[in-house]
A and B are shown apart, each in its own frame.
Chain A
Amino acid sequence: MKNRTIKVDYLARVEGEGGLLIKVKGNQVSEVKLRIFEPPRFFEAFLRGRHFSEAPDITARICGICPVAYQMSACHAMEDAFGTKLPPPIRALRRLLYCGEWIESHALHIYLLHAPDFLGYEDAIRMAKDHPNEVKRGLRLKKSGNAIVNLLGGREIHPINVRIGGFYKIPPKSDFLPLAEELKWARDASLETVQWVATLPIPDFERDYEFVSLRHPDEYPFNEGRIVSSAGLDIAVREYEQHFAEEHVGHSNALHSAMKERNSYFVGPLARYSLNYDRLPSHVQEAARAAGLGKTCGNPFQGIIVRAVETLYACDEALRIIDHFEMPDRPYVDVEPRVGNGFGCTEAPRGSLYHRYRIDERGLITDAKIVPPTSQNLKTIESDLLHLVPKNLEMQKDRLQWRCEAAVRNYDPCISCATHFLRLTIDRE
């Protein structure tokens, strides 16, 4: 078997700029590099010296796809530092806002970024010529998520209504009712989505990952919980850095995260689902089982099904929250800033998003650390390719390259977040 190189200069259908280089010698993969071209992160430096109250809006600018996640992790970290407790109605509305972001992000990934991989189209536009109804369903589903973020976040992109302690303004219940009507459509559409993605030809590929996600005593996790893993880790959010570390790697502008004693791990929908299946309502579990999923899922190509299941859950949960809506006495609780460290971790659509801040006596940020989900998955993406390529060496080069690109897109990587920016190279010399 000759040596081969698979090289993709510019990875399509991922958020941000990066590339992939895979070198094959005989039947062995000698090198896998997910190359990140974007300049390194600057937001952490940018936060130093800023007032604590600015963190949600500044960090929301890191990503146009998951601003809510950044706002939520920032708020929870600050509230942790100041000992702020949120009343249940505000907490419920935060979950509602997060439902909106999951729906819009998952619908975009399922229909426009990942489905073309399984159906054999170069992009969603070519797919839309043959499957216009599915694409239109995906676009409207995404719009339902946008509508939540728009109403509660103040606007769709970079919502501005979130503050430490709650919201600046909470719309009256009457404003939520038209939203509920659209979400009833979205719930039906997301069930159809689960059924549709279950029919896609999904490659067989199973690995024994260490899954990591939040786990809450009785909820599928968005904002709160302990950080748990499938290998038995069970820690408070503030213990994160004792167990996880980021490292520089030569070929990437993004830092790679690893568990200190056990190396790569997996965050995101598969991890959340596999660790929290018992927290899903029974009808969502039934939809997952009918789509061919077990209680855990170790095939990253089935991520598209898990995302659809989570979209169904998010629509369902959003409707439940609206149904039980209670207007809080005030849209936010007052916070009393104090010197200290605050830790926050919430479940962004792509996985756990960790924030830590140090606040001084003037209420200014003196140190900030942000670990986005994509950096946590980079090592796992590379190791997936290391396992995937040797199993598929009989494939034509263009098909193998396609399969490798799809394997990267399994993670819906957000390079923009990971560096705060990807291009593929498979080398067969």
Chain B
Amino acid sequence: MTAAPSKTIVIGVGNEFRGDDGAGLAVARLLREQLSPEIAVLEESGEGTSLMDAWRSASRVFLIDAVHSGAAPGTIHRLDASCDPLPTALFPCSTHAFGVADAIAMARVLHELPVALIIYGIEAASFDESQGLSDAVQRAVTAVAERIVLELCAPPD
């Protein structure tokens, strides 16, 4: 076994052609401009095995995705998936047969979870087939980017 890598990555998940489902990608694009280049910022569709590949080489991962829990649009959820099982009900909107919640559960079974996996979920207003974010989600995108920058300034838990 090799020693655990001490790499931080940011993964924005979504589909920009399905309205607010583009929120995770929007956060990734904001952060790419703001963060130092040694922090990799990835954009993913949410297909689970690709996510598992993406975070395999990292010790600390921030993953941002649009969610649907019934809360007000723009509500920000923060979960530490490295400690607690993820409520799958948050991600019913995944169009993937093996999506974000599955990838986290599978990585837990196979002992392949990063040491820290922080999920930011942004409550979507709409997953309609359109481009562009709703106002509430756009505001949450900015806020999540700011919170991740602040977390990155602090040492890992």
A-B interaction: yes
Q: What is A's interface to B at a CB cutoff of 8 Å?
A: 12-17, 39, 42, 61, 64-65, 108, 112-113, 123-125, 128-129, 132, 135-136, 139, 142-143, 146, 156-158, 415-416, 420-421
Interface residues of B in 40-71 (CB under 8 A from A): 43-50, 52-53
With A39-B128, A42-B129, A64-B96 in contact, do A139 and B15 touch (Cβ < 8 Å)?
Answer: no
- Evaluate contact between A156 and B110: CB separation under 8 angstroms: no
Provide the B102-121 mask, 1 if CB < 8 A to any CB of A, else 0: 10011001100000000000
- Evaluate contact between B102 and A64: CB separation under 8 angstroms: no
B residues less than 8 Å from A64 (CB atoms) = 15, 45-47, 95-96
Q: Can you pick out 18 interface pairs between chain A and chain B where the beta carbons lie within 8 Å of each other?
A: A13-B98, A15-B95, A15-B96, A61-B15, A64-B47, A64-B95, A65-B96, A108-B49, A108-B98, A125-B106, A125-B109, A128-B106, A128-B110, A139-B49, A142-B49, A156-B53, A157-B43, A157-B44
CA distance A17 to B18 in the complex (A): 14
CA distance A228 to B17 in the complex (A): 35
CA distance A157 to B15 in the complex (A): 11
A residues less than 8 Å from B96 (CB atoms) = 15, 64-65
A-B pairs under 8 A by CB, number: 68
- Evaluate contact between B52 and A15: CB separation under 8 angstroms: no
**Distance to closest chain B CB from A81 (angstroms):** 25
CA distance A405 to B97 in the complex (A): 13
- Evaluate contact between B109 and A421: CB separation under 8 angstroms: no
Partner of A157, one of B45, B98, B110: B45
B residues less than 8 Å from A112 (CB atoms) = 48-49, 97-98
**Distance to closest chain A CB from B133 (angstroms):** 17
**Distance to closest chain A CB from B25 (angstroms):** 11
B residues less than 8 Å from A113 (CB atoms) = 97-98
A residues less than 8 Å from B95 (CB atoms) = 15-17, 64, 415-416, 421
B residues less than 8 Å from A135 (CB atoms) = 106, 110
Interface residues of B in 129-147 (CB under 8 A from A): 129
CA distance A242 to B52 in the complex (A): 45
CA distance A108 to B102 in the complex (A): 13
Known: A64-B15, A139-B52, A143-B49. 8 other contacts (CB 8 A): A13-B98, A17-B95, A64-B46, A125-B109, A146-B50, A156-B50, A157-B47, A421-B95
- Evaluate contact between A13 and B43: CB separation under 8 angstroms: no
**Distance to closest chain A CB from B48 (angstroms):** 8
- Evaluate contact between B45 and A124: CB separation under 8 angstroms: no
**Distance to closest chain A CB from B8 (angstroms):** 20
Interface residues of B in 8-56 (CB under 8 A from A): 15, 17, 43-50, 52-53
- Evaluate contact between B17 and A61: CB separation under 8 angstroms: yes
Question: Which chain B residue has the least Cβ–Cβ distance from A421?
Answer: B95
- Evaluate contact between A65 and B49: CB separation under 8 angstroms: no
With A125-B109, A128-B110 in contact, do A13 and B97 touch (Cβ < 8 Å)?
Answer: yes
A residues less than 8 Å from B98 (CB atoms) = 13, 108, 112-113, 124
With A39-B129, A112-B97, A112-B98 in contact, do A124 and B106 touch (Cβ < 8 Å)?
Answer: yes
